[in-house]
Amino acid sequence: MGARSAGDVVVAGLKRLEYRGYDSAGVAVPVEDRIEWRKKAGKIVHLEDEIAVRPLPETGTAIGHTRWATHGAPTDANSHPHVAGRIAVVHNGIIENFASLRAEFDVEFASETDSEVAAHLLNREVAGGATLVEAMRAVAPRLEGAFTLVAIDALEPGRIVAARRNSPLVLGQGEGEYFLASDVAAFIEFTRDAVELGQDQIVELTTDGFTVTDFDGQPAEYTQFHVDWDLSAAEKQGFDWFMRKEIFEQPRAVADTLLGRQNHHGELVLDELHIRPEELRRVNKIVIIACGTAYYAGFVAKYAIEHWVRIPCEVELASEFRYRDPIVDAQTLVVAISQSGETADTLMAIRHAREQGSKVIAICNTNGATIPRESDAVLYTHAGPEIGVASTKGFTTQLVACYLLGLYLAQVRGMKYGDEIAAIIAELEGMPSFIQRMLDRAEDVYALADELKERPSMLFLGRHAGYPAALEGALKLKELAYIHAEGFAAGELKHGPIALISQDLPVFVVVPPAGRDQLRDKVIANIAEVRARGAHTIVLAEERDEQARANADTFWPLPHVSTLLQPLVAIIPLQLFACEMATRMGHDVDQPRNLAKSVTVE
Ligand code: AGP
């Protein structure tokens, strides 16, 4: 909303959000007493082509949407905005009771979506004499599930009204112009002064300013913040993919996540951690909740936290957690790991945990996101915007945050002396240069990608903290190369998976450092077992480990680091490999098929 052509601003913003979902896109503007809209299935370039052929009128108000399909295939008709009478609306989330609401209308709906019913509900209100904001206050409370709704009324052309529940919405404050978006990336080229909107809030926007209320129309609190990264950080800076750029940003991202975590006595201070030490001393169990890559980061954290803090640490898939009737209470500390901070599975899981009385700490990379806002405390990673759908620097900075949390817990519970903690912190501070060393060997990894790009299946093995690293390496390959890739605990091979070994099957093995000899010796034996059956072994082991090297068809040397921290360096070649494989296969690395960057539906 503002002086320049709002339609152009919205399309530019949608292109910055395309990584969040890209099945279809559309824009709507209020023109005299009607709504004009353009919307197309497929990537935003199709919408731009449509607008080039049928330009939108120049207006000061516009709304737009780029979609990740939930209800209804990615077609023109199912694209947003949805229009009913003089109302246009765009929606993120799922309206779970859409079927019963649709039954209130005897009109033909234009789409198969849940979202369209919101347009009809709002239109019915304004047709009955309500203003747009009154209409939103009447409609929003009736919707169940998760939604961000943004609506315009042709008869109120200078106004936008939005509501959010369980789905992200941020406001940008410009000079005489205002923006609403799911993510600040949509408007930071225009302003970096933002407002995070809270649960069950409605915001009314005009060129004169904005008003925030709750669903009852009462004034509501909101938080202003300044976005600390600029547009260039959200651009590719010469890389072919955001993902590749983000892989190479990891030394900086890890260093930034470590910054400012100690006071001048060398003690760990996690200042966003607003849970008192005495409460942390009463904790008798930790439950880590996450999805996908974040889950594998939590899986690594389990090994570190149990070793340093000596209390049980469970790791749970968020989508399973609340359905298995988990045993959590006031003495359980829940740690929710989420790069986007908007993953619906994780959000619903922490809500369940808090209802049981548990304190929740979020580990998140997105300032002002829903999950940290609904947690008792937050540990922000400082990876900068992660645009590539496949998480890379999100993962390594989550590992660092988990290590910091584990060391902090060990500190407040007296499980480790200051000098022991300082030694591990010192090793962590050396990690950026170790990660850089792995990146410097990228060409060796790329060469293997060319050799293996036709293989239909690959296995990944690891033990101890190397096991979740293997799982994450497999996930990267699955989501980017679209081939079967599976991670196993190396010790599990003989219990079944070894039957999968066939001639030339690529098997990646993460070998623990020599310091853990029994663990390492067993993995070396596992490599020999698969190699004897024809596997092509790609061995990731310490550069000085000659026995590992002798058992490798391809050897990727790792620097000497301690076992618990080894995933920080072992994952780098696996990220590079997946990125390069997908590139050589001609896939869209940043927007892999069927995926979205932030899964805001359960
Ligand atoms: C990671 O490469 C995937 N894109 C996906 O598994 C992701 O890690 C998962 O959806 C969790 O996302 P979050 O960290 O934003 O919660």
**What is the CATH classification number for the domain harbouring 416?**
3.40.50.10490
Pair (64, 197) in one structural domain: yes
Distance separating alpha carbons of residues 105 and 114, to the nearest angstrom: 14
Specify the ligand 1 atom closest to the Cα of 475.
Answer: 2
Task: Please name the residue whose Cα sits nearest to atom 6 of ligand 1.
Answer: 292
Q: Is the pLDDT of residue 502 over 60?
A: yes
Q: Ligand 1 test: best mutation among 289, 300, 391, most atoms within 8 Å of CB?
A: 391
Q: Is the CB of 339 under 6 A from ligand 1?
A: yes
CB of 343 closer than 6 A to ligand 1?
A: yes
319 lines ligand 1 (CB under 6 A): no
Q: Give 177-193 pLDDT, tens digit per residue.
A: 999 998 888 998 899 99
For the chain, state the CA radius of gyration: 25
Percent of the chain surpassing pLDDT 90: 77
Tell me, yes or no, whether 63 and 149 share the same domain.
yes
End residue of a domain, out of 204, 235, 266: 235
Nearest-atom number in ligand 1 for the CA of 371 is 16
Q: Is the CB of 340 under 6 A from ligand 1?
A: yes
* Distance between Cα 361 and ligand 1 center (Å): 18
Whether 464 is in a domain gets the answer yes
Task: Assign 23 a pLDDT band (cuts: 50, 70, 90).
Answer: confident
Query: Has this prediction a pTM greater than 0.85?
Result: no
The one-letter code for the residue type at 458 is M
Domain boundary among 370, 398, 429: 429
State the Cα angle at 552 between 550 and 554, rounded to 5°. 130
CB of 552 closer than 6 angstroms to any ligand 1 atom: no
Residues 570 and 540 grouped into a single domain: yes
DSSP H helical ranges for 79-115: 98-102
Atom of ligand 1 nearest to the CA of 390: 2
Ligand 1 centre distance from Cα of residue 435 (Å): 22
**214 and 255 fall within a common domain:** no
**pLDDT at residue 270 greater than cutoff 90:** no
Share of the chain above pLDDT 70, in %: 98
Tokens 């955001």, residue located: 242
pLDDT of the residue at 312: 98
**How many angstroms is it from 291 CA to the middle of ligand 1?**
6
Whether residue 135 is found in the same domain as residue 212: yes
Residue 523 pLDDT greater than 80, yes or no:
yes
Residue nearest to atom 13 of ligand 1 (CA): 338
For the chain, what's the residue count? 602
CB 381 within 8 A of CB 397: yes
Q: How would residue 32 be classed by pLDDT, with cut points 50, 70 and 90?
A: confident
What is the tally of structural domains in the chain? 3
Do 355 and 454 lie in one domain? The reply is no
- Give the residue whose CA is nearest to atom 5 of ligand 1: 292
Question: Which helix (H) or strand (E) covers residue 393, if one does?
Answer: helix 393-412
Containing H/E element for 574?
Answer: helix 567-584
C-alpha to C-alpha distances, 325 to 286, 310, 349, 353, 356, nearest whole angstrom: 16, 25, 11, 10, 11
Residue 1 within any structural domain of the chain: no
389 touches ligand 1 (CB under 6 Å): yes
Q: Are residues 384 and 493 in the same domain?
A: no
Q: Is residue 135 in some structural domain?
A: yes
CB-ligand 1 contact for 390 (6 Å cutoff): yes
Answer yes or no: is the C-beta of 292 below 6 A from any ligand 1 atom: yes
Integer Cα distance of 570 and 68 in angstroms: 32
Task: Give 392 Cα–ligand 1 centroid separation in angstroms.
Answer: 10
In a domain? residue 523: yes
Residue 364 pLDDT grade (very low, low, confident, very high; cuts 50, 70, 90): very high
Amino acid at 100: S
For 225, the domain range is: 6-235
Amino acid 94: pLDDT: 79
Residue 391 in contact with ligand 1 by CB distance below 6 A: yes
599 and 454, same domain (yes or no):
yes
Residues 81 and 35 in one domain: yes
pLDDT for residue 253? 94
Whether the per-residue pLDDT at 2 is higher than 60: the answer is no
Is there a domain that residue 156 lies in? yes
Q: Is the pLDDT of residue 71 over 70?
A: no
Q: Which of 235, 253, 286 is the last residue of a domain?
A: 235
AA letter at 467 = Y
Is residue 599 lining ligand 1, measured as CB closer than 6 Å? yes
Residues 231, 334, single domain; the answer is: no
Band the pLDDT of 95: cuts 50, 70, 90.
Answer: confident
Is there a single domain that holds both residue 109 and residue 13?
yes
**Cα of 518 from ligand 1 centre, angstroms:** 33
Residue 282: inside a domain? yes
Ligand 1 touching residue 471 (CB < 6 A) = no
Reported as a single tens digit per residue, the pLDDT across 576-599 is 999 999 999 999 999 999 888 888
The pLDDT of residue 328 is: 94
Q: What's residue 75's pLDDT?
A: 85
Residue 408 contacts residue 422 (beta carbons within 8 Å): no
- Contact (Cβ atoms closer than 8 angstroms) between residue 409 and residue 304: no
How far is Cα 386 from Cα 393, in angstroms, rounded to an integer?
7
Gap from CA of 177 to ligand 1 centroid (Å): 33
Q: Please give the Cα distance from 285 to 277 (Å, whole number).
A: 15
H helix or E strand, kind and range, residue 203 = strand 201-206
- The CATH code of the domain that includes 143 is 3.60.20.10
Q: Is residue 585 part of a domain?
A: yes
Task: Please calculate the CA angle 274-278-283 and round it to the nearest 5 degrees.
Answer: 90
What pLDDT band is residue 234 in, cutting at 50, 70 and 90? low
489, part of any domain: yes
Nearest residue to 329 via CA among 359, 371, 289, 298: 359
Q: Are residues 466 and 596 in the same domain?
A: yes
Stretch 142-157: mean pLDDT: 93
